[in-house]
Amino acid sequence: MTDLHRLDRREALSFSAVLREGLGSIVREMRRAMVRSSYSSIIYEGYDFSCVLTDGAGNLIAESGEDHPFHIIPISGAVAGMTRRHGTIGPDEIVLHNDPYTGGTHLNDVAVIWPVHHNGLPAFHIVIRSHWADIGGMSPGSLNGAATEILQEGLRLDHVRVAKSGADELLRLVFDNVRASREAASDFRTVLGICRVAEGRLRGLLAKYGAPRVNGAVQDILDGAEQRLRRAIAALPDGTWHHTGYLDGAAATPHPLCVRVALSVEGDRILADFTGTTPQVDAPLNAGPAIAPTSVLTVIKSFLDPSGSINSGTLRAITVHAPQGTIVNATPPAPCGGLNEVRFACDAAVMGALGQIAPARLIGDVRGTSNHTYIGSRSFIFYEYPSGGTGASAESDGAVAVRAFNEGENVSIQSAEIVEAIFPLRVLRNEIRPDSGGAGLSRGGCGLHREVEILVDDARLSVLSDRNIVPPAGVNGGLSGAPNRYSLRRDGAMVEPSRFPGKIANFPLRSGDVVVMESSGGGGFGDPRERDPERIAEDLADGYVTQDGLASYSRLGPGPVLALDPDLAAHACGLSRTLAAALDAEPGSLVEVVFVTGPSRRFWVAAIDSAEKTARIRVAPTSTALPDARTIRLLTRRTPLQEGLLP
């Protein structure tokens, strides 16, 4: 390469950096306008939306750094699906999309795809994906824990073309079939206005620099992101590592639901194979084909290259196989309202596999669910998603009741002032949930305790939550956080709003009822007995730990002896009589083995070995040797897996 060529190349790369920031500033302007202009509190208070730009081919090229990974990473697939379905979209048309089977998330997240044409061809696509308070279906807010098919979750919009002006009969059909239609229509008009301004900004860039130069710089942006991630992957050892993430499931599903991954490093690329994951279920615990790649990229990027931007270039270094017909690649009519619950299980599986490669980089597990909470009637819909604690790391404790690294910048909860001003509700308590963070050398972050009183007689409660049975795991000897928990107080007595924890649909509420939300804590990192006493004293003073919770930092449970049994399923175990008595466990109980390095592993008790007197636990063989076990703990004595249901 000549000096002139080097100079030209340096100038081109400098311009690509300028353009990258210019495109990012457009997206950030879009976000600010959404917050300031929207009518729905879930947008201006909850920030449940994302804005991105793609190039003409649909490659993701710009995001704000505040957007939700599960909103933005699937966008490229959604734009590609639009092209396959319609070919070229006219300059006076836009496309609505929420279909999980063709690149969407769940039905409430409606994407507006706004093409920007130049010389007769699409040069960019402006995309805003925002959560609609309701999209139809069987319950106010659409999401609930009892759906058995996607038709019960609302309207599917599979790349539906409408007029860019918004004057379209099809839109009238959509808004006539959703609750809170005035709010939805107003927010939609806000999106159209923001896209129109963003189009003007992009045309200004094309006019200033010219399309050839802009297109070349876009390719440099994508190539640079790919090279960054490939360099980070190349520093890892080659090999294949396995881990499994579990979901609570629902009353109608088999147990346990699992996401299995084999994570392989081959030079400068990663392959993630989800073969062995549970087949799709007749419950809202499925995800479409975009979610497994989203999970893998989110975790790999966060752990290996956290400072670089996310775009389609980063995906080139990753190959994902998600078998069709499983909960990570469902087909119609499987309901997909709980796609985030599935995604968090994917995240846990990928983190667990990656943590075996680099244990020091591991963090404790996070809340692991969206905690979709709806209180609604014919006249109002209140929606929020209480955050929990984040996982601890080698350097620091987890954060308290905030979003985690894999969630974006939507807020923890809506403010009490807004809730009480808009809805017939009263916020009675909103505080830290003590002892919910997993104990460790570094403590997991605490969840929150929130109580909301109902002030009308015609409201209903729907909840779609997970990690109410299987809590967020600790790592490298750290302990699990507390699970999520939903309950109802009526006339001073506690009432169970469903027979399965965390899955509620259309439970009738009365005036004076109090919905109690308790979100999970993050998993701990490292041996809790090694935590600095001064930090424990600070935890006590701050209310993160109570006197009762101090026991987790001073003594552990029994140290188990692992024995391999090829006749057991991967999720099952057999406990000796001595160990079962020490844990107060029975067949169907959920236990976890805490290892010195790597993530904890969960097992459902299949049998009690009455003749065995040592502290032995039988588990299935694994592809790699298990690390030394530090302790074994009972997580849940009674689970949906009762005696005789395990293989």
**436 pLDDT more than 70:** yes
Q: Among the listed ranges 203-217, 281-295, 555-569, which one has the minimum average pLDDT value? A: 555-569
| Cβ partners under 8 Å of residue 218, min gap 6 | 16, 19, 55, 59, 61
CA-to-CA separations, 9 to 16, 208, 598, in angstroms, rounded: 11, 20, 44
Q: What is d(CA 372, CA 396) in angstroms, rounded to the nearest whole number? A: 28
**599 pLDDT more than 80:** yes
pLDDT band at 11 (very low <50, low <70, confident <90, very high): confident
Q: Smallest Cα–Cα separation from 348: which of 269, 267, 419, 277?
A: 277
**646 pLDDT more than 50:** no
Q: Comparing 117 with 360, which gets the higher pLDDT?
A: 117
DSSP annotation of 329 reads: B
253: left (phi over 0), alpha (psi -120 to 50) or beta: beta
Mean pLDDT of the chain: 93
**286 pLDDT more than 70:** yes
**408 pLDDT more than 80:** no
Pair 524, 364: CB distance under 8 Å: yes
The vertex-475 CA angle with 297 and 632, nearest 5°, equals: 135
Q: What is the pLDDT of residues 556-574, one digit of tens each?
A: 889 999 999 999 999 999 9
> SS3 for 299?
helix
Tell me the H-state helices in 312-455. 312-315, 339-357, 416-422
The vertex-521 CA angle with 517 and 523, nearest 5°, equals: 155
Averaged over 530-552, what is the pLDDT?
96
Pair 454, 427: CB distance under 8 Å: no
Pair 440, 392: CB distance under 8 Å: yes
Q: What is d(CA 372, CA 463) in angstroms, rounded to the nearest whole number? A: 6
What string of H, E and C letters represents the secondary structure of 457-486? CCCEEEEECCCCCCCCCCECCCCCCCCCEE
Q: What is d(CA 53, CA 289) in angstroms, rounded to the nearest whole number? A: 21
pLDDT band at 413 (very low <50, low <70, confident <90, very high): confident
pLDDT band at 116 (very low <50, low <70, confident <90, very high): very high
pLDDT the model gives residue 69: 87
Report the DSSP pairing between strands 601-609 and 572-576: parallel
**634 pLDDT more than 50:** yes
**4 pLDDT more than 60:** no
Own/partner pairs, 468-471, CB within 8 angstroms, 24+ separation? 468/248, 468/501, 468/502, 469/248, 469/501, 469/502, 469/590, 469/636, 469/639, 469/640, 470/246, 470/247, 470/248, 470/256, 470/590, 470/602, 470/635, 470/636, 471/520, 471/635
Averaged over 401-408, what is the pLDDT?
78
Provide the b/e sequence for 608-647 (b: ≥16 CB within 10 Å).
bbeebeebbbbbeeeeeeeeebbbbbbbbeebbbeeeebe
pLDDT the model gives residue 6: 56
pLDDT the model gives residue 614: 87
pLDDT the model gives residue 74: 93
| Cβ partners under 8 Å of residue 156, min gap 6 | 98, 99, 107, 150
Q: Scanning the structure block, which residue is given the tokens 């592993």?
A: 601
**398 pLDDT more than 50:** yes
Pair 479, 352: CB distance under 8 Å: no
Q: Smallest Cα–Cα separation from 89: which of 65, 62, 61, 124?
A: 124
pLDDT band at 647 (very low <50, low <70, confident <90, very high): very low
| Phi, psi (degrees; rounded to nearest 5) at 411 | -85, 165
Burial class of residue 427 (count of CB atoms within 10 Å of its CB; 0-12, 13-18, 19+): middle
pLDDT the model gives residue 586: 92
pLDDT the model gives residue 117: 96
pLDDT the model gives residue 5: 54
Pair 615, 572: CB distance under 8 Å: no
| DSSP β-bridge partners for residue 631 | 594
Q: Around 306, how many Cα atoms within 13 Å sit in the side-chain half-sphere? A: 6
How many C-beta atoms lie closer than 10 Å to residue 111's C-beta? 28
Pair 575, 632: CB distance under 8 Å: no
| DSSP β-bridge partners for residue 462 | 374
Averaged over 129-133, what is the pLDDT?
95
Tokens of 468: 């109410």
Q: What is d(CA 341, CA 338) in angstroms, rounded to the nearest whole number? A: 5
Averaged over 96-100, what is the pLDDT?
97
Pinpoint the residues of the chain covered by CATH 2.40.40.20: 561-636
Backbone Cα Rg of the chain? 25
pLDDT the model gives residue 529: 96
Pair 344, 335: CB distance under 8 Å: no
Provide the b/e sequence for 59-87 (b: ≥16 CB within 10 Å).
bbbbbbeebbbbbbbbbbbbbbbbbeeee
**643 pLDDT more than 60:** no
Please tell me the pTM assigned to this model. Answer: 0.94
pLDDT band at 457 (very low <50, low <70, confident <90, very high): very high
Q: Smallest Cα–Cα separation from 371: which of 273, 227, 516?
A: 516
Q: What is the pLDDT of residues 236-247, one digit of tens each?
A: 999 999 999 999
**59 pLDDT more than 90:** yes
**395 pLDDT more than 60:** yes
pLDDT band at 367 (very low <50, low <70, confident <90, very high): confident
**156 pLDDT more than 70:** yes
pLDDT the model gives residue 644: 40
How many C-beta atoms lie closer than 10 Å to residue 577's C-beta? 15
Q: Among the listed ranges 191-205, 213-227, 304-318, 523-537, which one has the minimum average pLDDT value? A: 304-318
**264 pLDDT more than 80:** yes
pLDDT band at 157 (very low <50, low <70, confident <90, very high): very high
pLDDT the model gives residue 228: 95
CA-to-CA separations, 376 to 56, 109, 384, 463, in angstroms, rounded: 41, 19, 12, 11
| Phi, psi (degrees; rounded to nearest 5) at 426 | -135, 130
**8 pLDDT more than 80:** no
How many C-beta atoms lie closer than 10 Å to residue 306's C-beta? 9
Q: What is the pLDDT of residues 441-452, one digit of tens each?
A: 999 999 999 999
pLDDT the model gives residue 411: 65
- 561-636 CATH: 2.40.40.20
pLDDT band at 645 (very low <50, low <70, confident <90, very high): very low
Tokens of 9: 């190349």
The vertex-26 CA angle with 21 and 27, nearest 5°, equals: 95
